[in-house]
Structure 1
Amino acid sequence: MGSFQPIDYIILVAYLLFILYIGIAVAKKEMKGKEFFKGDGSIPWWVTSVSLFATLLSPISFLSLAGNSYADSWQLWVAQLGLLIAVPVAIYFFLPVYRDLNLDTAYEYLERRFDKKLRVIASVLFIIYQIGRMSIIMYLPSIALSAVTGIHAVWIILFMGAIATIYSSFGGIKSVLWTDFIQGVVLIGGGIFALIVLIFSIQGGIPEIFRVGVAENKFFSEEVLFDPNILNDSLFLIFLGAGLSTAFSYISSQDMVQRYLTTTDLKQMNKMTVGNGVLSLGTATLFFFIGTALYVFYKQQMGNNIPTGNSDLIFANYIVAELPAGISGLLIAALFAAGQSTLSTGLNSVATSWTLDIQKIISPDLNDEASTRIAKFISWFVGVFSIVFAIVLVYTDISSAYEWFNGLMGLVLGIIGGTFTLGIMTKKANAKGAMLGFIVTAIIAVYVSYFTDISLWAYSLINLVVSLLAGYIFSLIFTEKSRAEEKNEILTYYDHKKAE
């Protein structure tokens, strides 16, 4: 059994300092106002595309994708195919409207389509969700990395959180995008290298991986493939549910939409989305295949006594135990990369949403210098708070309760996605109808999630249907004209098509 060597620590620290340097240097000048929030127009689409991908793939995903296929099968890989739903939906229906409106934040759309109240509510919910997500994204991987490297979890949290906080607050979205790009490249490169080493370590190579995988149902089983009950975790329901959930992230989550808003060129937006889809599907496939290869590797090494227990640690254990010193440091750095990209994005999106969606409504005359100063303070404050809360999680036993909270907030963000869909896809929906539809959908979503046995993959579909039906029906009951009917402005998909 190998262990983390001094050279690994040196490489890991050097990588973290390199990312800090890039994050500060890439801005070149102090970014203010819209440049801080939306960039200066100099960021290529392919950088933003990799940033989208790095934002979605946290270190939890890095570990759990391989762990899932190692311990079970490729069933959840089908969730990645949901991108075939999410990408066309975003490109065809939503991004053209966002481009036409030249939004500053995702939730500005809700104000322009409905009213300020919905904008503020959506922004507050997003901020709470992101703070929780950032804390848990530092906490869970720190436990895994501590187990395989020997570094105390608190030090891992401090390094990961402090560096992401410094560069995201310094250079705004531009620093975040370029560092995310580097983190994404490191992440993919590390995964490819690990798989190559694995393949050469297995007698029979790739054909043997497929042979064992098929023989032992490590890919798909017939029962799952042909389950006629869509309320079970059938492949069709996983595909549909993940597709709608990913689409909601693309169209209504500030951390995702903010990337689109760095350009007003629709072709660039579409390239970002397609590029992210290809990267996400390709990388998920890579890590699922790594998990199956790990199963075959340990099967050859240990027979039926393969490592069991927490499958999320299997890949990290392999990196430290089986790979040469130095290489282990690089691949653990890739895990840090996944964490830092998600953290820096979260910090920047929270700062942007607070400043533009809430503070500017409280203080409409806020100038560029003041708004940038507030955003930087929010980045620092939220960064420190998330670090402290993640450290609290290390020393307490409340992680399960916190995951429950995180799941609840994820549900609510799904409801926000339904409200965006109501606004884009209907002209008659008005502010009162949208607000009441939001409340009804939230109640039903909580009931379905915590008081029924319905598959979690059905939640997004239920949220969408209830949001559309309730929001539209209430809008017809309250017969006031909607802003889409009153204003000569492109607020819906139909307005965009008419203007073409």
Structure 2
Amino acid sequence: MSLLDWVVLIGTLLFIVAYGIYRTRGQQDIDSYLKGGYSFKWWTVGLSVMATQASAITFLSVPGEAFESGMGFVQFYLGLPIAMIVLSVTFIPIYYRLKVYTAYEFLESRFDLKTRILAAFLFLVQRGLAAGLTIFAPSIILSAILGWSLSATTLLIGVVVTIYTVSGGTKAVSQTQKQQMVVMLGGMIAAVFVVLNLLPQEVSFGRAVDIAGYMGKLNVINLEFSLSDRYNIWSGIAGGFFLQLAYFGTDQSQVQRYLTGKSITQSRLALVMNGLLKVPMQFLILMVGILVFVFYQFYQPPLFFIEKGKESVTQSEYAGQWEQLDQQYQQVFEEKRENIQALLSQIEQDDEAAVAGTRQRILALEEETQTLKAQAREMVAQANPDNETEDADYVFLTFVMRYFPQGMVGLLLAVIFSAAMSSTASELNALGTTTTIDFYRRTIRPNASDEHYLRMSRWFILGWGIIAMIFASLAPLADNLIEFVNLVGSLFYGTILGIFLTAFYIRHIRSRATFWAALVAEGMVLLLFLFFRDQIGYLWYNFIGCALMVITGLLFQAILPRATSS
């Protein structure tokens, strides 16, 4: 990177952290530290909610997802607006009325302590794993791209975010997330214009969209129903709705964001803002990946995007085979580029018959390209079994490092670091709050002073920061990071959501039935994943877990009425 890029990167991150610490100095009470003193207006809360969900994985993995599979991932968010309406009507008024610190306090008032502890424990397990992933994901990719050691990159992100989260609590998280969200959105909008400027002069945005469409990358909506399909309109609306409802309604990392609003109205407006803007934001990030895909139809892309993996092959006994494979890859690329240029000319001439024939040839060449890339991945694995073979998460950052102008590289890296810090800060803040309120204050030291709980909150956040960094150093890299993070959540969210929906809407189900139903439902979800992971798309686990929890709770309440009367 150039000196200008380093100045932009370091300057941006230092400003954000310093601003957050400055704006939250002098906090002395637990209410301000954990809930921000109910002091924020809706746009601050809304940006904080969006920044919490938009981790570094979003900006690394989503463009790669679009590059590989097209726009279908946007269906994941189709249930979000509906979920925001339900939350605004049902969840927010109850949380405000009870003046809770965590979502799980409500469960004790509705059921009992053991149900509250169970839900809080499930949250700590899944969000503790996710916190490590949100540090690990950008660390492993940035370390590979920048040539830094993985441990150094993990420590850099983890230490910086832990320092300002411990220092300023919820206020620091919300204040810094405003700046981080501006950097993230500004960086991605700038990326769109930079990519468009890098395309050949004759390829306008409209023609780029045409090319992507003819090559099957604009598959925004899939109406076919299939449990095994990762993304279709049915999994997006049904599974996505339950995932978003669980995430925003029962996950403390999000609940804590909108509990900082000055009033119920401010928090509701923040969730409406999120519901209206999240889908366009994801569409924008996916479009960046689509434009990068189009760019690589005119300029030779790497056979394999992870440089370390490529080097291990070229320095092994497979070097000769790799060279031959790379030559084939270049030949297919040249032929495909010629056909795409011919396609553009035929579109201008409105020659539909010629367009149809050329499109079929391009699709056949693209299929051949994917076959060669699959062979390359196999060769990378053969050269060193420890090599990462799925390179989609590296596509966007590799493109940025190779083609973006000075200054823009630093800005895009600032986007990724900001996203990593914003989501991790929310997670650490929520983990520390839940540990303090639902475990320490409730069961260990129920009558300590406010100052004592404030001090312990800082220690718990620090502890979770260390745990997250340890896990980040040990975590395996999944095929696609955005899917892996959502999978981890999906395995737990359904059960947690089922507990809350039972609490809100099915008043006759009592505590013991709920507790044992939750254990059964979570066990069944984990068993389904263990034995049927290839047959069930991960979004459906949210619906299945929730349905199992509610149905099993009704069954237990019906057959054991006396035992579940408490």
User: Same fold, TM exceeding 0.5?
Assistant: yes
Q: Is the CA contact 1:99–1:264 (under 8 Å) kept in the aligned structure 2?
A: no
CA distance in structure 2 between the aligned counterparts of 1:228 and 1:179, rounded to whole angstroms: 41
Q: CA deviation at 1:88?
A: 1.6
Name the counterpart of 1:379.
461
Change (3 A) 1:356 1:460: same
**RMSD between aligned residues:** 2.5
CA distance in structure 1 between the aligned counterparts of 2:488 and 2:66, rounded to whole angstroms: 26
Q: Residue 399 of structure 2 aligns to which amino acid in structure 1?
A: Y
Q: Is the CA contact 2:130–2:485 (under 8 Å) kept in the aligned structure 1?
A: no
Q: CA deviation at 1:482?
A: 8.6
CA distance in structure 1 between the aligned counterparts of 2:283 and 2:485, rounded to whole angstroms: 29
Compute the TM-score of the two structures, normalised by the length of structure 1. Answer: 0.89
Change (3 A) 1:405 1:51: closer
Change (3 A) 1:20 1:226: closer
Q: Residue 213 of structure 1 aligns to which amino acid in structure 2?
A: A
Change (3 A) 1:217 1:441: same
Answering whether residue 539 of structure 2 is matched by residue 432 of structure 1, we say no
Answering whether residue 365 of structure 2 is matched by residue 283 of structure 1, we say no
CA distance in structure 1 between the aligned counterparts of 2:78 and 2:492, rounded to whole angstroms: 23
Name the counterpart of 2:209.
210
Alignment of 1:88-487 (within 5 A): 88-202=85-199, 203-220=202-219, 225-229=222-226, 232-233=229-230, 234-263=232-261, 265-302=263-300, 303=333, 304=336, 310-362=391-443, 363-393=445-475, 398-399=476-477, 407=487, 410-452=490-532, 453-479=535-561
Equivalent position SS for 1:39: helix
Change (3 A) 1:247 1:126: same
Name the counterpart of 2:342.
none
CA distance in structure 2 between the aligned counterparts of 1:469 and 1:266, rounded to whole angstroms: 32
Change (3 A) 1:153 1:279: farther
Q: Which moved more, 1:89-98 or 1:300-309?
A: 300-309
Change (3 A) 1:229 1:133: closer
CA distance in structure 1 between the aligned counterparts of 2:6 and 2:105, rounded to whole angstroms: 44
Q: Is the CA contact 1:31–1:171 (under 8 Å) kept in the aligned structure 2?
A: no
Q: CA deviation at 1:143?
A: 1.5
Q: Is the CA contact 1:160–1:336 (under 8 Å) kept in the aligned structure 2?
A: yes
Gaps spanning 5+ residues in structure 1: where?
A: 487-500
CA distance in structure 1 between the aligned counterparts of 2:540 and 2:528, rounded to whole angstroms: 10
Q: Is the CA contact 1:9–1:329 (under 8 Å) kept in the aligned structure 2?
A: yes
Equivalent position SS for 1:436: helix
CA distance in structure 1 between the aligned counterparts of 2:246 and 2:447, rounded to whole angstroms: 32
Equivalent position SS for 1:219: coil
Q: Residue 279 of structure 1 aligns to which amino acid in structure 2?
A: L
Answering whether residue 33 of structure 2 is matched by residue 58 of structure 1, we say no
Name the counterpart of 1:493.
none
CA distance in structure 1 between the aligned counterparts of 2:465 and 2:113, rounded to whole angstroms: 27
Q: Is the CA contact 1:126–1:253 (under 8 Å) kept in the aligned structure 2?
A: yes
CA distance in structure 2 between the aligned counterparts of 1:22 and 1:109, rounded to whole angstroms: 34
Change (3 A) 1:457 1:40: closer
Change (3 A) 1:481 1:257: farther
Q: Residue 209 of structure 1 aligns to which amino acid in structure 2?
A: A
Q: Percent identity?
A: 27
CA distance in structure 1 between the aligned counterparts of 2:46 and 2:234, rounded to whole angstroms: 27
CA distance in structure 2 between the aligned counterparts of 1:175 and 1:431, rounded to whole angstroms: 37
Name the counterpart of 2:311.
none
Q: Is the CA contact 1:437–1:471 (under 8 Å) kept in the aligned structure 2?
A: yes
Q: How many residue pairs were aligned?
A: 475
Compute the TM-score of the two structures, normalised by the length of structure 2. Answer: 0.79
Q: Residue 283 of structure 1 aligns to which amino acid in structure 2?
A: M
Q: Residue 274 of structure 1 aligns to which amino acid in structure 2?
A: V
CA distance in structure 2 between the aligned counterparts of 1:126 and 1:229, rounded to whole angstroms: 29
Q: CA deviation at 1:284?
A: 0.3
Q: CA deviation at 1:269?
A: 1.6
Q: CA deviation at 1:407?
A: 4.4
Q: CA deviation at 1:454?
A: 2.2
Q: CA deviation at 1:17?
A: 1.9
Q: Residue 188 of structure 1 aligns to which amino acid in structure 2?
A: L
- Cα offsets for 1:6-48 (capped at 9, x unmatched): 3322322222222221121011322421111101232222111
Q: Is the CA contact 2:495–2:522 (under 8 Å) kept in the aligned structure 1?
A: yes
Q: Is the CA contact 2:60–2:396 (under 8 Å) kept in the aligned structure 1?
A: yes
Q: CA deviation at 1:369?
A: 0.2
Equivalent position SS for 2:260: coil
- Cα offsets for 1:314-363 (capped at 9, x unmatched): 11112111111121011101000000001111111111101111111122
Answering whether residue 147 of structure 2 is matched by residue 67 of structure 1, we say no
Alignment of 1:33-52 (within 5 A): 33-52=30-49
Greater radius of gyration (CA): 2
Q: Which moved more, 1:370-379 or 1:92-101?
A: 92-101
- Cα offsets for 1:186-211 (capped at 9, x unmatched): 11110000001112222332101221
Q: Is the CA contact 2:487–2:538 (under 8 Å) kept in the aligned structure 1?
A: no
CA distance in structure 1 between the aligned counterparts of 2:50 and 2:531, rounded to whole angstroms: 34
Q: Residue 94 of structure 2 aligns to which amino acid in structure 1?
A: V
Change (3 A) 1:124 1:230: closer
Change (3 A) 1:392 1:454: closer
